[in-house]
Structure 1
Amino acid sequence: MANLTTKQKAFADEYIINGGNATQAAIKAGYSQKSARAIGKQNLTKLYIKDYIQFRLKPIEEKREVTADDALNELISIWQGDTQNGVSKTMDRLKNGEIVKHIEYEYTPDLESKLKALDLYLKYKSLLSQAQLEKARTEIKLMQAKLEVLQRGDEESTEDKLDELLNRISGELDGVD
């Protein structure tokens, strides 16, 4: 995983905390309010930032035993207006958080909830698609570079060719900020 700048790391962490709001994440990470929207959008196109976000989300998903697909399916369920289950608890803080009332109920999402679910679904689906596209582009560049090096047919050893290839690819990837 590439090294993120302090602001990029703060942005990614805030992006997770803010539920996918890139503009607010950029502001809280220390970018100016004037450029926050553009910076937030730009940061989400950087593969190493997306990788860091996925890296940070993975333990949370595993702990809760919820995959990204599960979460996306739940957002679709809300967007479609399927009946949802809710829980309400009343706790007595004076008695060490003892639960005084526990109510389970069903509800149908309102229009605002449906629109929020659709918005989140499209944001995360887009983020995943962009990461997959960027990965495919990187793999294509790697294969093209391998082909070039191997087609040269000069007298360099295979090890030297591979070293040259890796240096070339890592140089290209460093410039993809």
Structure 2
Amino acid sequence: MEETNSVKNDLNELQRAFCEYYVSNGFNATQAAKSAGYSERTAGSQGSRLLKEDKIQKYIDILKQQAASHIDLSKEALLTKLNAMLLNSPEGIQLKAIDLINKMNGYYAPEKQEVTHNKYSDLEKKVEEMSAEELEVYIQSMNDDSDDKPNLKRVK
């Protein structure tokens, strides 16, 4: 808190206002400069210039930290709020709350499906149908073939 006051006191009123508007408006420097009272004509260049100053950046960082500390996005807090919506809201909002609760609890997780893809499945079937002698000839032909295409003709 002491650091915040020190940094804040190093800024003039326009600079403080610029920082506060900058954090509250979604980090638009031109709009923050206009809202703080800088000239509409020079707001873009003033905003850019202000963002380059260390003391401005320090105060903006402090304001961002303060804003973040007020937001509770823990799973438990969100579930508590959604449960309250179930009790006190119209049906459409209740359905949306139920949907979000289910998603957060993993009820919509996709079912595991076994997917197999084997580019050699036809080859495997042919190999499985071969006798030991046919397989031996096939293996030998694989070693002899220079074009890397196995000969799957059946030996009789």
TM-score normalised by structure 1 residue count? 0.39
Higher relative contact order (CA 8 A, sep 6+): 1
- Highest Rg: 1 or 2? 2
Bigger proportion of residues as strand: 1
